[in-house]
Amino acid sequence: MPAIRSYKRGLEFPHEGFVQLSIEAHFRAAGFDLINDGQVDLLCTHPVTGEAWHIEAKGLTTQVGLDFRTGLGQLVQGMRSETSKYGAAIPDTPAFRAQIAKLSPWVVSALHIHWLLVSPDGSVHIVAPGGPNSSFKADGFAAA
């Protein structure tokens, strides 16, 4: 039986519990099988296509920058397969967009990091590395 997770800040937007439940619902609705390994926030594979995802989820805290960098470190350290897709799931807020904007787009592309932006309604927008919106300004508009 999978362990029940608890979230110190609760299950409301923009906290990690909300982000976690939103990405799980998104991938489940897309036909993915979710895997609970107890270490990664979300591992999932699609039974037909074989597409695999490894995702770290973060939510709003008093130390957004530190937690964002911790999540990226966890993601990079967990990269084991060249064929898996790797992503950071975060609430779509100016504070988190500002963190994304601090990263060079070429680094995001080189590491193949996808951004999974979770809206207050629970919808998930996936931004692929190297795409037109792979780097953001804090105001929510794509960087030039």
**Percent of the chain that is helix, strand, coil (3-state, to 5):** 30, 20, 50
144 residues of the chain, pLDDT tens digit each: 345 577 677 799 999 999 999 999 999 999 999 998 888 999 999 999 999 999 999 999 999 999 999 999 999 999 999 999 999 999 999 999 999 999 999 999 999 999 999 999 999 999 999 876 666 655 544 443
Long-range contacts of 26-31 (CB under 8 A, 24+ apart): 26/116, 26/123, 26/124, 27/53
* Per-residue tokens: 137: 């300004």
Token match 């609705």: residue?
29
How many helices and strands in the chain, by DSSP H and E? 4, 6
Q: Domains plus CATH for the chain?
A: 16-127 (3.40.1350.10)
* Per-residue tokens: 140: 């929510």
Q: 3-class DSSP state for residue 47?
A: coil
| Alpha-carbon gap, residue 124 to 121, rounded angstroms | 9
